[in-house]
Structure 1
Amino acid sequence: MTRIVQIAPTIEPGSGVAGVAYALEQEFRAAGVPVERFTAADAGRTLARPHRTTLGLHLQRAGNVIWFSTVGTRRAKRFLAERPDAIAFTHNDVMTGDVYVNHGLLQAAMRARGNYWWRMVRNPVHLFTALRDRIRYRGRTHRAVVALTGREAELLREVYGRVRPPVTVIPNGVDIERFSPGDTAGRAAVRRGLGIADDATVAVFIGHEFERKGLHLAIEALGAVPGVVLLVVGGTADMIRRATAQARRAGVAERVVFAGEQPDPVPMLRASDVLVLPSAYEANALVVLEALACGVPVVSTRVGFAPDLVVDGENGFLVERDAAAIGARLAELDAQPLDAWRERARRSAEQHSWREVASRYLELARSLERGRTAPA
């Protein structure tokens, strides 16, 4: 029987890499497949809560990345050596495991944001990560690589020129039971708690890296849509302070609500009318799929999974990374009833369940398992 080990800094419910690994773990177990995990905590490092300042956050992340890439790799190898029959899926940092799941390309993200070389050299961890991943993709660290979209598979080859392990495209999924449209009472209660009127059109922005994900463009776009309130989920106190100052300069501060970090994005999505994601780069943009599953149409740049999910005029809009274009689409949605949009958004997400995604990972694991036992 196939046996799985998942390696990730953390594995827990929610969004991001930790949430993806957790969702796969649940589906593997539901399919009767034995699964274990190896996290930073299992390797001996406790990941503390993020610092409140941007500098503190960067330093903490840098330390975690370097430690799990080096010390974590050595300890993960020992862990796997005791389980020679397991197939290991690695999510981020560690340099071992049968399959590496590519949750994003640092160099592609830096190029998308502009001033590539300055962004790389001003942060030594970027140079460390670039060298580490060059070894990962061009060497024999892994037996296979999973890319989350077809475009991400192309970017792998554009960035590294040659990727030695075979690349398989498996998009992320969504928990369509957890991420689902809420009721009117719950929606109203969340809005009251945030000080947002029941009849306002709410555009929600969810993300931690405000600059890369384009929060400044969403704030600027509000100038063209006086009926829209922007709900911002995520960010440190320092990041929120700077974004608040920008909103004041743009004259829209009274229509920008900062909710800060939230343990569960579902209530925020259910309280909203549209997701806005003007990002420069996303490996997958799982939040787009989560929003659609909650019945929330999407206004997004052409990043990650968004071009495969969003159909203009059906469940949202794909836009250029431009405040005027974002504002025009928000105004279009603000001017009409959204019930039909919500129904179409939900239907477009229902075909992307985690069960189907996990079955593709298991198919890949079994093919690698057969490769181990095949005669030379």
Structure 2
Amino acid sequence: MTQHNDVPPQILPRRIVQIVPSVEPGRGVEAVAYHLEQEWQRLGIETARFTLVEAHGRWLPDPGPGVVGKMTLAARVFWFTTVGSFMAARFLAHQPRGTVSVCHNDVLVGDVYVNHGIVAEAMRARGHSLLRMVRNPLHLFTWLRDALRYGLGLHQRVVNLTGVEDGILRRTYPRVRPPSVVIGNGVDTDRYQPDPEDRVAYRRRLGLAEDDAVAVFVGHEFGRKGLPVVLQAMDGEPHDILHLVVVGGTPDMITQAARDADLHGVGPRVHFVGEQLDPRPYLHLSDFMVFPSAYESYGLVVLEAMACGLPVVATRVGCVPEVIDDGVNGIVVEPSADSVREGIRRMLTADLSGMGIQARRAAEDHSWSRIAREYVGMFAAVLSEKAR
């Protein structure tokens, strides 16, 4: 594993091609590619994209909820992995000398592969991993595909988002051939920042008083990201004053989670707002975030919350060990109801304003400008090797 310092590069790529199903602002891998593209362009580097459109996959719809949505997602992954790999190789063959290609998803070509998560580790963290893998053919396909990716050395570099993830990668795929580096994700500190005005207005929309204690949970996969644990932790004193705003989830997931909240006797204090293109209003109205995830390759939502001035109660996953200083800008907990309950208790009695200031300062150290320059520093070595 190699580290690259944030220094001005000696060699700039002529062009950077990103390989990803789509590039767009918002959330997820697509947003990572978007922010990197914007920063590289500011450095004067030409950029290009190879997306599902270039792979002639425009006919594949966006995944929706339910079984049909899972089948659609599987079709997109399979298409971008197979047809996409073939067509991306042809696309890259026509790029000018001095081009560096960065693959974020599925496709099995590219100078650099960014590891945005290891499916086997996500299953292992939740328990009964073999059953979960067998039950979902897409998980098996992804595991086998990436075994080929890492074992055959299809890329010159692998980027892991944290040092912990680098270790997990080598434990899961012991025959990783490409050298790996650690470069985290960034956060848009201009877009994500404290906004006291939103706090009052959006609390009113949800029927919340200005002095209510409010936590926010943001995540689509309720089970893996720990919502059931949070609901259990809210059951009983001193948390009978806490409201929880839940951002994300499909209608089916929300229905089940609402039933669980009622079973724990906390239903009236849990407010489901569904999937949101912009989570900022719900971050702004909250006092802190609670995020006891079982596994994250990075957990960008933690940084987004901190950039909005929210301290975070979170488990030791993804970026948490690197950005949260326990008791200073957040609380680190274990993925159990008892531990999360204690973390919430500590947060409710803490100086939230002071912790929020420290959370914002920590987020400011992870700007996209800095992250983009770290990539460019690594590209210099890739270009030097390609020129040999």
Q: Which runs of 4+ in 1 moved over 4 A?
A: none
**In 2: Cα distance, 1:286 partner to 1:102 partner:** 14
Deviations 1:334-367 (A, max 9, x none): 2344211111111111111111100011111121
- Paired AA for residue 354 in structure 1: W
Is 1:221 the counterpart of 2:257? The answer is: no
Shift of the alpha carbon at 1:287? 0.8
Shift of the alpha carbon at 1:82? 1.2
Q: More displaced, 92-101 or 322-331? A: 322-331
For residue 23 of structure 1, the aligned residue among 14, 35, 43 is 35
Shift of the alpha carbon at 1:254? 0.4
- Paired AA for residue 91 in structure 2: F
Does the 8 A contact of 1:146 with 1:170 survive in 2? yes
| Distance change in 2, residues 1:293/1:189 (3 Å) | same
**Match of residue 127 from structure 1:** 140
Is 1:11 the counterpart of 2:23? The answer is: yes
**Match of residue 302 from structure 1:** 316
Q: Secondary structure at the match of 1:258?
A: strand
**Match of residue 192 from structure 1:** 204
Identity of aligned residues (%): 49
**Match of residue 117 from structure 2:** 104
TM-score by length of 2: 0.93
**Match of residue 224 from structure 2:** 212
**In 2: Cα distance, 1:41 partner to 1:232 partner:** 33
For residue 248 of structure 1, the aligned residue among 251, 259, 262 is 262
**Match of residue 87 from structure 1:** 100
What is the 5 A alignment of 1:153-302?
Answer: 153-183=166-196, 185-224=197-236, 225-302=239-316
Q: More displaced, 88-97 or 361-370? A: 361-370
Structure 1: any 5+ residue segments left out of the alignment? none
- Paired AA for residue 312 in structure 2: V
Deviations 1:263-287 (A, max 9, x none): 1122221111111111110000111
Shift of the alpha carbon at 1:124? 1.2
Is 1:145 the counterpart of 2:143? The answer is: no
**Match of residue 328 from structure 1:** 342
Deviations 1:215-261 (A, max 9, x none): 10011111131111111111110110110110111110001111111
Is 1:41 the counterpart of 2:53? The answer is: yes
**In 2: Cα distance, 1:172 partner to 1:352 partner:** 7
**Match of residue 4 from structure 2:** none
Does the 8 A contact of 1:108 with 1:159 survive in 2? yes
Is 1:63 the counterpart of 2:50? The answer is: no
Shift of the alpha carbon at 1:137? 0.7
- Paired AA for residue 308 in structure 1: E
| Distance change in 2, residues 1:355/1:69 (3 Å) | same
Q: Secondary structure at the match of 1:299?
A: strand
Shift of the alpha carbon at 1:49? 3.9
Structure 2: any 5+ residue segments left out of the alignment? 1-11
CA RMSD of aligned residues (A): 1.3
Does the 8 A contact of 1:103 with 1:148 survive in 2? yes
Q: More displaced, 255-264 or 194-203? A: 194-203
- Paired AA for residue 357 in structure 1: I
Does the 8 A contact of 1:203 with 1:272 survive in 2? yes
**In 2: Cα distance, 1:110 partner to 1:178 partner:** 33
**In 2: Cα distance, 1:135 partner to 1:18 partner:** 24
Is 1:114 the counterpart of 2:127? The answer is: yes
**In 2: Cα distance, 1:163 partner to 1:187 partner:** 47
Q: Secondary structure at the match of 2:18?
A: strand
Q: Secondary structure at the match of 2:318?
A: coil
**In 2: Cα distance, 1:48 partner to 1:270 partner:** 33
Does the 8 A contact of 2:159 with 2:181 survive in 1? yes
**In 2: Cα distance, 1:60 partner to 1:220 partner:** 33
Does the 8 A contact of 2:62 with 2:72 survive in 1? no
Deviations 1:95-137 (A, max 9, x none): 1110000000001111111101101111111111111000001
- Paired AA for residue 98 in structure 1: D
Shift of the alpha carbon at 1:314? 0.2
For residue 351 of structure 1, the aligned residue among 343, 365, 368 is 365
| Distance change in 2, residues 1:50/1:257 (3 Å) | farther
Q: More displaced, 327-336 or 241-250? A: 327-336
**In 1: Cα distance, 2:215 partner to 2:166 partner:** 31
Deviations 1:38-90 (A, max 9, x none): 1112222235344233x233222111111111111111111111114221100
Is 1:315 the counterpart of 2:329? The answer is: yes
Does the 8 A contact of 1:227 with 1:334 survive in 2? no
